[in-house]
Structure 1
Amino acid sequence: MTPTEVDILNRFLKERSGLVLVGDKSYLIESRLVPVAKKHGLSTLSELINKVRLGGMQLLEQDVVEAMTTNETFFFRDKLPFDLFTETMLPHMQKARAMNRRVRIWCAACSTGQEPYSLAMILSEQAARFPGWNFEIIATDISSEVLEKAKAGRFTQFEVQRGLPIQFLLKYFEQKGEYWHIAPEIRQKVTFRPINLLRDFSPLGPFDIVFCRNVLIYFDETTKTDILNRMATCTAPDGFLVLGAAETVVGLCDRFKAVPDKRGLYVRSIAEAGATTMPLRYAANAR
């Protein structure tokens, strides 16, 4: 691929998905896009790039975006966010939502579903603490291909060995042939929807907890700021935002503040949400 072709691809990916390729990604581009070119009957990547440049081929363009999007995920990834969900977020919601007993959770960039299913298993384990409660998990991704896999709830031996506690595997999965199928009662707790974070996601409605982990790292600062500001708008005044270990709101968005001593966990800022609506033990320390 020529530098001009790489530049065309970069502009296309940034416009459609927010993805920014940094450094020499020739091997990555070739390994992911050669199969796409073959699928569409194109003999070279130059032909593919030219088709993308000309536009009008929706299926090809979608396949290019999906091929270049990183979909790395596994059950209970990084562990800490799920501990914070159990030990910090759920206890707060139990008190703050005691009247309506409803909590809405958004998993943005959910990939093949391991994150929302991990949360669903935690909620199943915690069910005795929340009789009569309605927990709604909305999981979204830009890729229709990974969403179809997520909806199926079918995972390989390799996938269930990555992060999934053995007791959860035995309790919530059934092996059928070479695949493990997640229990229907867990799969039914999650609703999957296609969403591009660069576009308007306000129709999803308001959320009490937002997981947006390990996706902002692929965007430039302007795009990160835009997404975070719009996420603040759809997050409840006393709601939570969870980012990945390598991500932060610092220098990008002042509508969220870090929760002291709880890495990756953020609440709405006092100025944004009002001191009386923040979790009280956080409001005193937010800075």
Structure 2
Amino acid sequence: MISSPPIAVPLAPENFTYVCELLAREAAIVIEPGKEYLVETRLGTLASRRNFSCANALVAQLRTTPGFLTPLHREAIDALTTNETLFFRDGAPFDALRDHIIPQFRLNNPGRPFSLWSAASSTGQEAYSVAMLLAEHFPGLPTTLVGTDLCAAVVARARTGLYQQTEVSRGLPPSLLSKYFQPVKDGWQLVEDVRRRADFIELNLAKPWPILPRFHVVMLRNVMIYFDLETRRRILNQVKQVLEPGGYLCLGGAETTINLDPAFEPVPFGRATFYRVV
């Protein structure tokens, strides 16, 4: 049976407040007033999929279990988490890795594996972009690539390396598409040699982290802007614990460590700025 589209009913103020508090508590994500339409749209889609009449009905169900997270809570949090990503997003950070950071690492650490953490990897495009960059320019370099995300569904999808035509058309050079992807039904799949270079696990940056290895580069792009001030500072402090000495942190173009953690200093590489612990 095909579910009907949810009725377009504005989200009640008390339900919007509940959703904001849920995201703040479980993911430290701040939704500002005025974002009701975004919440209505995303929860409306979930409501339709789960056969609720509207987003308000879905939130009413969530509110029946105070203090206890159900699978439906998890689906709601996942629906409200921004998953925008594309291959080689913004370009300049990948140029910096290719032209400066990785060559510098090889010069200073002959024979050592290079490690990079894509800390908000969504469906995997960022981590796989690094994997293709390494395959193209540093084929003999041992590497450890880890991608993590809050959403279990996108982590599972990242592991498959499956992408639709619209996704491989955004940011991915045609030469890399033909070299590292195979056509499959409804899209493209990364070749196994690239897929096995990256490991993907579920990790909530706003909650206590599991024991992680140390990394030479941590890519934490376009996610800090969604956190409150206290969470940003706590995450930066934790990043310092997993960075190798001399390692680099990469943030989004609109993000910085300035006024958050004085231990980091900006290091420009062309059009990209990375951050290093002083």
What's the TM-score once normalised by structure 2's chain length?
0.90
User: How much has 1:57 moved relative to structure 2?
Assistant: 4.5
Q: Secondary structure of the equivalent of 1:167?
A: helix
User: How much has 1:200 moved relative to structure 2?
Assistant: 2.2
- The question of whether the paired residues in 1 share the 8 Å contact of 2:117 and 2:147 is answered with yes
Letter in 1 for 2:43: L
Residue among 120, 123, 126 paired with 2:137? 126
Unaligned segments of structure 1, at least 5 residues: 270-287
Tell me: CA distance 1:145–1:198, structure 2 relative to 1, closer, same or farther (3 Å). same
Q: Distance in 1 between matches of 2:159 and 2:102?
A: 25
Letter in 1 for 2:115: R
Residue among 86, 110, 113 paired with 1:102? 113
Letter in 2 for 1:212: L
User: How much has 1:74 moved relative to structure 2?
Assistant: 0.5
- The question of whether the paired residues in 2 share the 8 Å contact of 1:51 and 1:57 is answered with no
**1:17-57, CA deviations, whole angstroms, 9 ceiling, x for partnerless residues?**
12111231222111111232344443343333233333335
Higher relative helix content: 1
Tell me: CA distance 1:264–1:61, structure 2 relative to 1, closer, same or farther (3 Å). farther
Tell me: CA distance 1:237–1:202, structure 2 relative to 1, closer, same or farther (3 Å). farther
Aligned-residue sequence identity (percent) comes to 34
Q: Secondary structure of the equivalent of 1:110?
A: coil
Q: Distance in 2 between matches of 1:260 and 1:155?
A: 33
Q: Which residue of 2 aligns with 1:42?
A: 52
User: How much has 1:261 moved relative to structure 2?
Assistant: 5.5
- The question of whether the paired residues in 2 share the 8 Å contact of 1:229 and 1:255 is answered with no
Q: Please tell me whether residue 156 in structure 1 is matched to residue 168 in structure 2.
A: no
Residue among 261, 271, 275 paired with 1:266? 275
User: How much has 1:229 moved relative to structure 2?
Assistant: 1.0
User: How much has 1:102 moved relative to structure 2?
Assistant: 1.2
State which drifts further: 31-40 or 84-93: 31-40
User: How much has 1:260 moved relative to structure 2?
Assistant: 3.7
Q: Secondary structure of the equivalent of 1:203?
A: coil
Q: Distance in 2 between matches of 1:142 and 1:60?
A: 15
- The question of whether the paired residues in 1 share the 8 Å contact of 2:203 and 2:209 is answered with yes
Q: Secondary structure of the equivalent of 2:211?
A: helix
State which drifts further: 255-264 or 62-71: 255-264
Q: Secondary structure of the equivalent of 1:67?
A: helix
Letter in 2 for 1:93: F
Q: Please tell me whether residue 116 in structure 1 is matched to residue 124 in structure 2.
A: no
Q: Secondary structure of the equivalent of 1:42?
A: coil
**1:49-70, CA deviations, whole angstroms, 9 ceiling, x for partnerless residues?**
2333333352111101100001
User: How much has 1:202 moved relative to structure 2?
Assistant: 4.6
Superposition RMSD on alpha carbons, in Å?
1.6
Q: Distance in 2 between matches of 1:162 and 1:257?
A: 32
- The question of whether the paired residues in 1 share the 8 Å contact of 2:27 and 2:207 is answered with no
Alignment of 1:4-43 (within 5 A): 4-43=14-53
Q: Distance in 2 between matches of 1:119 and 1:261?
A: 17
The size of the alignment, in residue pairs, is 265
Q: Which residue of 1 aligns with 2:247?
A: 239
Q: Secondary structure of the equivalent of 2:239?
A: helix
Q: Which residue of 1 aligns with 2:150?
A: 142
- The question of whether the paired residues in 1 share the 8 Å contact of 2:96 and 2:269 is answered with no
What's the TM-score once normalised by structure 1's chain length?
0.87
Q: Distance in 2 between matches of 1:4 and 1:253?
A: 36
**1:236-264, CA deviations, whole angstroms, 9 ceiling, x for partnerless residues?**
12001000100000011122110145533
Letter in 2 for 1:253: D
Q: Which residue of 1 aligns with 2:8?
A: none
Q: Distance in 1 between matches of 2:69 and 2:221?
A: 31
Residue among 70, 73, 76 paired with 1:61? 73
Residue among 235, 244, 251 paired with 1:227? 235
**1:119-138, CA deviations, whole angstroms, 9 ceiling, x for partnerless residues?**
0001101235xx3x420000
**1:250-282, CA deviations, whole angstroms, 9 ceiling, x for partnerless residues?**
01112211014553311111xxxxxxxxxxxxx
Q: Which residue of 1 aligns with 2:3?
A: none
Letter in 2 for 1:255: A
- The question of whether the paired residues in 2 share the 8 Å contact of 1:76 and 1:115 is answered with yes
TM superposition outliers: structure 1 runs of 4+ over 4 Å: none
Q: Distance in 2 between matches of 1:97 and 1:201?
A: 28
Q: Distance in 2 between matches of 1:251 and 1:40?
A: 43
